[in-house]
Chains A and B, each alone.
Chain A
Amino acid sequence: MKRRILLAALIAARAHGEANPDLGGVWLPDHAADIGAKQNVPFEPLAKAKFEENSGKTSETDARCLPPGVPRIMLMARPFEIVQMPSRILFMYEGGGHVWRQVWMDGRGHPEDPNPDWLGHSIGHWERDTLVVDTVGFNDRTWLDDAGHPHTDKLHVIERFTRTSPGAMQYEVVIDDPGAYTRSWSASTTFVFRPGDKLSEDICLDKISK
């Protein structure tokens, strides 16, 4: 029934010339703490050693209130808000240092030599009803998830956001990092729509600074 309502809404939106689904609003991820748990992660030996070293520890990013990076910031049990514009999509995160992220939708490519960022340089496009976001330009200091899957600055992330019903979004992420993994691998989780919710202020540094 819900699906039929969504379909009707989509058809109505199309009729009004609004070609793309509306992902705007507050979403809460289903916490994915270990994206390698149910699969054979194609580690390079150094990445395997790093993962074992990280295991059970607190990440540097958490200890020092640095941004969690991508995709980890999408996998934590903390809400985020999407604001959708034709040329840009913004993500604002309650967790992970109160940071935001922008996805360019204006057809630009990545810079030839992107800055090594915590959240990378993101460009997106629509494939039917799925938002596809391509991100490069990472530093090598974040973890892919709470479990401590590492990455290098060769990390390239492809995220796919599909609103499968008014209340839910499917999130799939492909990890492509020839510096850490022998082939690309993927993980997924879901986001629950939280209409009417408002993000709260949570300044991580309050907990560690004097």
Chain B
Amino acid sequence: MKSSFAIGAVWLAIAAGSYSQQPNQQKLAKDPGPFLPGFGSEQDKPSAATAGPAPHLPDGRPDFGGNGAWYPGFNGNLAETKWKGVKSADRHVDVPFLPWTLQLFNERVGNFSKDDPEAKCLPVGVPRFMFDPYPFQIIQTANQVIFVFEGDNYLWRIVELDPKGRHRANLKPAWLGDAVGHYEGDTLVVDVAGFNGLAWLDQAGHATSDKLHLTERYTRTDSLTLKYEVTIDDPGAYSKPWTAYNTVHWRPGMELMENICQEDEKSSIHMIGNTKK
């Protein structure tokens, strides 16, 4: 009895201690600044080509393809308009962190994202591929929308079209999740579920849990511009759903090259993070 009281008292002390360091009272980590001087300044500029109207397929659906590829450029933080010295997402968002995701975000920023799965050649997943500096293409068939990526380890992603939004049975935890989509006018809407909770939403380090559920909206507003909206609904990581925005530019004539990340991957084990703590 005595000992259980003592254990209870210790537990209370620990709980009170950790409560007083409530990560909710932590300040959000600031932009660490440019990580490579000049990075992103040239490569992320939109194409110099003149935009025409958004193309459509013969059956009236929006056409996300053509002779070229989409290129997001480097957007390191999907909740900030500027990150690491260059343009990031389209809009600032006050992210409704849960205490653990705020703490983890701050740790990751403070540690220069040294544990980023992408550095180990793991998939960046969804929605990060729309914020990452690798080109991709979208191919539309009658019942699928296919994404093929040059970066992120030369992956493919298949969105099954289904207006009823039915996911496959027995979803397994995955990096890319299970995606079902439909068209709403000129917008492709994709519902994604079945995540493994390991992916980072961006390079900065917004975390996910395996409760992550995404609603993505793709709209080609003119021939050179793809507007992207993603609603992040993850009760395991955030207190309410929130939405991030980005604009992705068309690169006329661009073709995708094979890119095998782990071909000579020798660097991630040497990343030590921030030594000036």
Contact = CB atoms under 8 A, between A and B. Distances in A.
Contact of B160 (A83, A198, A203): A198
B257 A115 contact: yes
Nearest to B117: A209
Contacts, number: 69
B194 to A, nearest CB: 9
Contact of A83 (B146, B155, B172): B146
A100 interface: yes
B120 A66 contact: no
A184 interface: no
B154 A100 contact: yes
A99 B175 CA distance: 14
B54 interface: no
A81 B156 CA distance: 11
Interface string A51-75: 0000000000000111100000000
Contacts of B144: 83
Contacts of A100: 148, 154-156
A64 B263 CA distance: 9
Contacts of B121: 65, 205, 209
B176 interface: yes
Contacts of A36: none
Interface string A118-131: 11000000000000
B260 A118 contact: yes
Interface string A98-120: 11101000000000000101110
A126 to B, nearest CB: 20
A98 B156 contact: yes
A97 interface: yes
B47 interface: no
Contacts of B155: 98-100
State the main secondary structure of chain A at its contact with B. loop
Nearest to B269: A210
A23 to B, nearest CB: 13
Given A64-B262, A102-B256, A205-B122, A97 B158 contact: no
A199 B158 CA distance: 9
Contacts of A47: none
A24 B141 CA distance: 10
B272 interface: no
A198 B176 CA distance: 14
Contact of B158 (A81, A102, A119, A206): A81
A92 interface: yes
Given A24-B141, A65-B121, A90-B139, 7 more contacts: A64-B262, A90-B146, A98-B123, A102-B148, A198-B158, A201-B174, A201-B175
Interface of A: 24, 64-67, 81, 83, 85, 90, 92, 97-100, 102, 115, 117-119, 198-201, 203, 205-206, 209
16 contacts: A67-B154, A83-B144, A85-B139, A90-B148, A92-B146, A92-B158, A98-B153, A99-B155, A99-B156, A99-B260, A198-B158, A201-B176, A203-B123, A205-B120, A206-B122, A209-B122
Nearest first, the 6 closest Cβ-Cβ pairs linking A and B are: A92-B156, A100-B156, A201-B174, A117-B258, A99-B154, A209-B120
Interface of B: 120-123, 139, 141, 144, 146, 148, 153-156, 158, 160, 168, 172, 174-176, 256-258, 260, 262-263
